[in-house]
Every structure is written in structure tokens, then in C-alpha cells.
């Protein structure tokens, strides 16, 4: 795997200190099947919560560690999940909620020491991974990879000074 379980442990310690996580395969395809929906990609990660929202746990699919090009990409996804927790998104779903968690996540990963510019390509990586397998994303659940890339690039532009102060210029040649 490009990102190891040891590296994931370090990432989770920075991104979501003290909160439990497990590495296990998600069952998204099976859920889609049960709902009578077309197959969607497995969730790369999930924020699981108890019915009364008093207990949270992050579930990381090993697939995430396989497809992520670098640690920053995993830190981005983990920070997104941490966003669901911090934004008290329990039982709130939909594309707007996902974007809220994305934006929280970008600020959070920067705060704990990961350069968001190195994670931009992750949305495209996920989109390609899905299309190569004939999987489509469910627009009622998640924004498209293109929309997320666009929103992330806008966020990076708006926070350019803070990012360059911490990491310098031109880490990513595309930006």
C-alpha cells in the first residue's frame, strides 16, 4: 500500500487525537444493492455514530490506503470525517453537509500540519477509480469529484497566504 497502517496511525493521532478508528472494508456496494440503487463505490471512510450520537468511531477502508497517492490525501479524508464529528453532523446527510465537512477538513489538515495542495488530486483519483470500474457516485449523497476539486482549489486560493506561510510556495506545480 502506498500509505501504510503505521502512517495512518500517525495521521489519525494528529487529525483526530483520542478518537477511535478501525480499518475495515465498508459494505457500500451491498447497501446499494439492498436499497435497489445502482452500484456505487465503497466508502473510502465513514464516520460511524451510535443511535443517540453519543459515540463516534471512524471507519477507514483499506482501499483508501491503496488508492491515496500520499499521506496528505489520507489526512484530507480523515480530516473530512473529523469534520462530520466536530460539526455535529449526526444524522445529517447530503451534498451540502459533505461540502461543509470538506471545508472544515481543509482548514483542519492545515492546522495539524498537512499541506492541502498535495491532496488536491485525491478527488480525481477517486473519480477515476470509480469510472474504471463502471461505478457512479450518488448525487443525492455526495457532490461530484469535479465539484469537490473546484471547491478545494477555491479554498486554497482564499487561504494562500496561510498555506505559503507554513509550507512555502509552489509545492504543487499545478497551483
Minimum CB–partner distance for residue 160 and Zn ion (Å): 25
In whole angstroms, what is the distance from residue 153 CA to residue 172 CA? 12
- d(CA 142, CA 77) in angstroms, rounded, equals 14
Site for Zn ion in 56-115 (CB under 5 A): 98, 101
- Site size toward Zn ion (CB under 5 A) is 2
The C-alpha cell of 81 is what? 470525517
Nearest to Zn ion of 4, 94 (CB atom): 94
- Residue 27 or 167 having the CB closest to Zn ion: 27
Q: Looking at beta carbons only, is 76 or 101 nearer to Zn ion?
A: 101
Closest approach, Cβ 98 to Zn ion, in A, equals: 5
Encode 35-68: b = buried (16+ Cβ within 10 Å), e = exposed.
eeeeebbbbbbbbebeeeeeebebbbbebbbebb
Nearer to Zn ion, 8 or 101 (CB): 101
Q: Which of 95/124 has CB closer to Zn ion?
A: 95
The C-alpha atoms of residue 144 and residue 126 are separated, in whole angstroms, by 10
Least distance between Zn ion and beta carbon 175 (Å) = 24
Closest approach of Cβ 80 to Zn ion, in Å?
6
Q: Which candidate, 171, 50, 62, places its Cα nearest to that of 116?
A: 171
Q: How far is the CB of 18 from Zn ion (least distance, A)?
A: 21
Q: Are 74 and 7 in contact (CB under 8 A)?
A: yes
Binding residues for Zn ion (CB under 5 A): 98, 101
Amino acid at each position: 500500500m502506498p500509505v501504510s497502517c503505521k502512517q495512518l496511525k500517525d495521521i489519525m493521532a494528529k487529525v483526530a487525537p483520542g478518537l477511535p478508528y478501525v480499518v475495515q472494508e465498508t459494505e457500500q456496494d451491498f447497501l446499494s444493492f439492498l436499497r435497489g440503487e445502482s452500484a456505487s463505490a465503497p466508502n473510502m471512510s465513514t464516520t460511524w455514530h451510535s443511535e443517540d450520537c453519543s459515540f463516534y468511531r471512524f471507519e477507514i477502508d483499506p482501499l483508501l490506503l491503496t488508492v491515496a497517492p500520499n499521506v496528505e490525501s489520507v489526512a484530507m479524508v480523515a480530516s473530512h470525517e473529523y469534520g462530520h464529528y466536530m460539526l455535529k453532523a449526526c444524522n445529517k446527510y447530503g451534498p451540502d453537509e459533505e461540502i461543509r465537512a470538506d471545508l472544515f477538513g481543509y482548514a483542519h489538515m492545515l492546522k495539524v500540519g498537512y499541506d492541502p495542495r498535495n491532496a488536491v488530486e485525491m478527488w480525481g483519483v477517486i473519480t477515476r477509480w470509480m469510472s474504471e470500474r463502471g461505478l457512479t457516485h450518488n448525487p443525492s449523497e455526495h457532490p461530484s469529484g469535479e465539484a469537490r476539486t473546484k471547491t478545494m482549489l477555491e479554498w486554497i486560493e482564499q487561504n494562500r497566504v496561510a498555506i505559503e506561510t507554513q509550507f512555502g510556495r509552489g509545492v504543487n506545480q499545478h497551483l
